[in-house]
């Protein structure tokens, strides 16, 4: 397994955890953002947006995180 495959495997595992947790760990999200391959970034942002849409009062830090990630994708 090479570096890219390892990063994708770790990011994929953590993406599932973030998707399944009502309030994902900021530490896990930070790790995802360090290792995520570019092709998985849109899926990660989609998961975070889905989280925000489920909350009547979404976390400001989550909104800022999404905004930063969207800006990074441009």
Contact 41, 16 (CB under 8 A): no
The rounded distance, in Å, linking the Cα atoms of 2 and 65 is 29
Whether pLDDT at 4 is above 90: no
Number of domains in the chain: 1
The predicted structure's pLDDT at residue 36: 92
Distance CA 15, CA 23 (A): 13
More confident residue, 37 or 47: 47
Compute the chain's Rg from CA coordinates.
12
The candidate with the shortest Cα–Cα distance to 37, out of 12, 3, 8, is: 8
Domain range for 27: 3-73
**Residues in Cβ contact with 28 at an 8 Å cutoff, skipping those fewer than 6 apart:** 14, 17, 18
- What band does 66 get if pLDDT is binned at 50, 70 and 90? very high
């Amino acid at each position: 397994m090479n570096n890219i495959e390892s990063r994708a495997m770790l990011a994929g595992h953590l993406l599932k955890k973030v998707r399944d947790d009502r309030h994902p760990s900021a530490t896990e999200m930070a790790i995802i953002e360090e290792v995520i391959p570019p092709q998985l970034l849109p899926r990660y942002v989609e998961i975070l947006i889905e989280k925000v849409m489920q909350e009547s009062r979404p976390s400001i830090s989550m909104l800022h995180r999404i905004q930063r990630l969207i800006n990074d994708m441009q």
